[in-house]
Structure 1
Amino acid sequence: MVLESARLAGELPGAVLDPARLAAVADTGLLDTPSEGTFDDLAQLALAITGAQKAFFTVADGRRSFWKAAIGLDPSGARENDIRDSPCHILIGTGRELIAEDAATDPRIKDLAAVAALGIGAWAGYPVVSPEGHVLGGFCVVDENPRPFAPAQSQALQTLARSVSSEIALRQALRRARASGDASAALARTLQDSLLPPRLPDTADLDVAAVYLPADITGGTGVDVVGDFYDLFRTRGRSWCAVMGDVCGKGIDAAKVTALARYTVRAEATQHTSAATVLHRLHEAMTEQKVSERFLTAALLVFRPDSDGHGVRGRYASAGHPPALIRRADGTVEELTASGMLLHPLLPPDHDRTETVFRLGPGDALLLYTDGITDARDHHRGPRFGEERLARALAATHGADAGQTLAHLSGEASAHSGGHAVDDTALMLIRVSPHAP
């Protein structure tokens, strides 16, 4: 065994046999387990996006690459190969994506046994990582012929690989929560760490901010807290997508819906410019995967800064979510509405879902929010903060930047409720610079 380990160490990147990485792989509990719909669905989505013939999610220990998902292969066949034969060990060694447009001539993989065994003409793979940053394996597609992968396809694959990483992190946190009995704290941390972006991306000519405020946890009963979610990301070229969602209820099922919604929106928004279409595709994913019967409301924007830098143009769609608010540069506030039912796996598709075109000029700002802020009230069940107070508070921030605006809104709601939060609250503001050329 010592001689075998020494021989492998001479043939593989050092990271492959790193004890900390191997411990992280073992901790996933995924090795030698059956295929699962969650990972298979992500792999199927990768094929739909790229047009490739095979897709894999692999988990790699020190000797083999185990195919947790293997779409396009005979399901009765082998589900692993030697780690030395798989491009996966290169992902582990570099911690970066590997795209080989012509596998037969690419010096990195042309001599690997997997190229011939799997009929690899082109290969595109991305690392799947643990919360601590260890590369657990890879998420990849295989085309039988040499071919390039378009930037939008590569970006979608990267998003799907991150979704696999998030799914693994969520499962581990829930498993530890069950073992420790501290489910509420673990789920709250999971939401913050895995289901919300750690920071919003930098956007030219735009001032953006977001805040998540969890509901109160009282009584020491270990109440599960999952809550609302938001995301903002680039889709293709200079285009962007923003989403705000609210999953009904709390607990493990709600966390699963949140994770599904976030990675599905990220994948679909790179393929569609219609906000309504992205929500329709999310509804299909909820129906097909059936991770829970929780319902979801969501508001979604697809938008693009004007080429001259004078503002933003976009489309807005809603799935039963509170209307977005636009604060114009002169301080007036407008509602942005679009019709559409909430999302539920047992509801039929909403073919009447509409989308609304909007434009933001210099100094204009658009607010997405969940009903935690409008439902804010004190311990004595006094009046709600409500939509009118929210609109007035937003108007009062005339001239404020994104961060200052959200601080004022959350402060006003907290003052109204005496600091009591009956529900999770998420807020996101997108503001065009008032000094746009």
Structure 2
Amino acid sequence: MSGLEYPGGVREDGLPAVLSDPERLAALEASGMVGSGPESVFDDLTRLAVSVTGASISAITFVGETRTYWKSVPHLPYGGLEAWQNAVGDSFCYFAVGADGPFVVEDAEKDPRTAGHVAIGPWGVGAWAGFPIVSSDGQAIGTMCVIDPRPRQWRPQDLETLAVLARAVSSEISLRVSLGTARTALQSAETALKTAESALSTSRELARSLQDSLLPPVLRPVPAMDAAAQYLPASGDVEVVGDFYDLFHARGPWWTAVMGDVCGKGTEAAKVTALARYTLRADAGDHLSPAVVLDRLNTAMRAQRAPRFLTAVQATFRTTATGASGRLCLAGHPPALVRRADGRVRRIGARGTLLGVMDQVRLTDVRFRLAPGDLLFLYTDGACEARPAPDGPAPSRPIFDEEALAQALADTHGMSAAATNAHVAGALAEYHGGWASDDTALLSLRVPPRP
């Protein structure tokens, strides 16, 4: 490791010289993190990192000149200040601080940068990925990382989510420092307030970034199927919410589409969303019955004491020479809609039990078929419970309900999947005048008409 190069050079002991930089150490001291105990706001983020990446361990640490101070290591019981620290060279955390950027290792024993490192054995490091925690003036003061006991390839979405979470930690600390400055220095209250407002704005942007990281950036193409999804954020303050969707290959000719809505907002909702997506992807290849997969998700939520319940609709299907066929299951979710090629719309699905509340749930698979030109439409309740703007003109109906949604879908006769979503989104916007009371997710699966 002594041969590693860092932007600021190395000390005589081979560690990054920036560890001893006075400005960095002053920023670390100002953060108030050295010697502080665990807090739920940080533990929520590390648990979320584990849920999203599937890693065994996630940690938030703060790196001093000679010691590394642990802030959040949820898999370990808190043992007090003396127990929750170690020599700075006895973990990988200084790598990201020294590099002032991400440090990613897929095989710690074989990577020349880390081979033989003293932390591999005690921490069980097979693979490691970490991003620096940065103060408001740009000083790297700590690290947020995930660890796996076996070598692995980190997916781009894993690293993207970890980067967002590290920025969330940085924003939380900057906000605390700013608010502390405002309380103790009345003379600079105006400047501190502006800094706090900037940190709050950053937190909102991070909330939306985290929301986006829990949704697939693009849908995977399904052979002989036209698929499109659209996410419509609610108006007002930006928070992480629980609407999610996914479309992925299950096995053989079978594909799975899922739409879900976690109760509540914030980090707790994001944790349940991550658990749901991970579990559904893991189990859909083993069980082609959506009811079985959703039942297994309920079991996982109960076993992990998920802090929120959710509703979901899952369709497992395959394309055929005459269209597509499959099975669909509702777990407390609004019914799916099928728009036939001639514009007729019908509801499908037997409303089942929502997930995460009871050990035993009632879930039923319903078979469906799509002919050329037919479209399957999945949505969250923002599309069938939209309300008008509080200060807007009175609409023709008190709520944009399932009947209104079915009519909007019928009006998309002949449209592609993407155009269908856009039309429904436009109908909702026209109804509420641009003021959306709830986030909404839309997913359309259309069998292209025959030439």
TM-based fold match above 0.5: yes
5+ residue gaps in structure 1? 218-222, 249-253
Instruction: Kindly state the Cα deviation for residue 97 of structure 1 after the two structures are TM-superposed.
Output: 3.8
1:140 aligns with 2:147: yes
1:301 aligns with 2:300: no
For 1:321, the equivalent position in structure 2 comes to: 333
For 2:394, the equivalent position in structure 1 comes to: 380
1:38 corresponds to which letter in structure 2?
D
8 Å CA contact 1:339–1:355 kept in 2: the answer is no
What is the distance in 2 between the residues matched to 1:426 and 1:21?
Answer: 43
What is the distance in 2 between the residues matched to 1:28 and 1:244?
Answer: 38
Instruction: Kindly state the Cα deviation for residue 409 of structure 1 after the two structures are TM-superposed.
Output: 1.1
For 1:351, the equivalent position in structure 2 comes to: 361
8 Å CA contact 2:204–2:239 kept in 1: the answer is yes
Instruction: Kindly state the Cα deviation for residue 262 of structure 1 after the two structures are TM-superposed.
Output: 2.0
Query: Deviation per CA, 1:176-202, whole angstroms, max 9, x where unpaired?
Result: 599669799888655533223477324
Name which one, 1 or 2, has greater alpha-carbon Rg: 2
Query: Deviation per CA, 1:255-278, whole angstroms, max 9, x where unpaired?
Result: 233212222223323422254146
1:263 aligns with 2:274: yes
When normalised by structure 1's length, the TM-score is 0.67
1:209 aligns with 2:229: yes
What is the distance in 1 between the residues matched to 2:437 and 2:17?
Answer: 48
8 Å CA contact 1:240–1:302 kept in 2: the answer is yes
8 Å CA contact 1:209–1:430 kept in 2: the answer is yes
Instruction: Kindly state the Cα deviation for residue 111 of structure 1 after the two structures are TM-superposed.
Output: 1.9
For 1:125, the equivalent position in structure 2 comes to: 128
Query: Deviation per CA, 1:275-302, whole angstroms, max 9, x where unpaired?
Result: 41464156427x7254xxxx65422436
1:34 aligns with 2:37: yes
Instruction: Kindly state the Cα deviation for residue 434 of structure 1 after the two structures are TM-superposed.
Output: 1.9
1:280 corresponds to which letter in structure 2?
N
Of 395, 411, 422 in structure 2, the residue corresponding to residue 407 of structure 1 is 422
For 1:251, the equivalent position in structure 2 comes to: none
Give the alignment of 1:125-204 within 5 angstroms. 125-128=128-131, 136-142=143-149, 149=152, 159=158, 162=161, 165-166=164-165, 169=168, 172=171, 176=175, 189=205, 191-197=207-213, 200-204=217-221
Farther off after superposition, 14-23 or 200-209: 14-23
8 Å CA contact 2:208–2:240 kept in 1: the answer is no
1:272 partner SS = helix
For 1:107, the equivalent position in structure 2 comes to: 112
8 Å CA contact 2:229–2:443 kept in 1: the answer is yes
What is the distance in 2 between the residues matched to 1:25 and 1:284?
Answer: 39
What is the distance in 1 between the residues matched to 2:234 and 2:411?
Answer: 25
When normalised by structure 2's length, the TM-score is 0.66
What is the distance in 2 between the residues matched to 1:175 and 1:204?
Answer: 42
Of 335, 351, 354 in structure 2, the residue corresponding to residue 339 of structure 1 is 351
Of 60, 63, 73 in structure 2, the residue corresponding to residue 61 of structure 1 is 63
1:95 aligns with 2:128: no
2:282 partner SS = coil
Instruction: Kindly state the Cα deviation for residue 140 of structure 1 after the two structures are TM-superposed.
Output: 0.8
1:389 aligns with 2:404: yes
What is the distance in 1 between the residues matched to 2:12 and 2:366?
Answer: 58
Q: Could you say what the CA RMSD is over the residues aligned between the two structures, in angstroms?
A: 5.1
Report the number of matched residues: 397
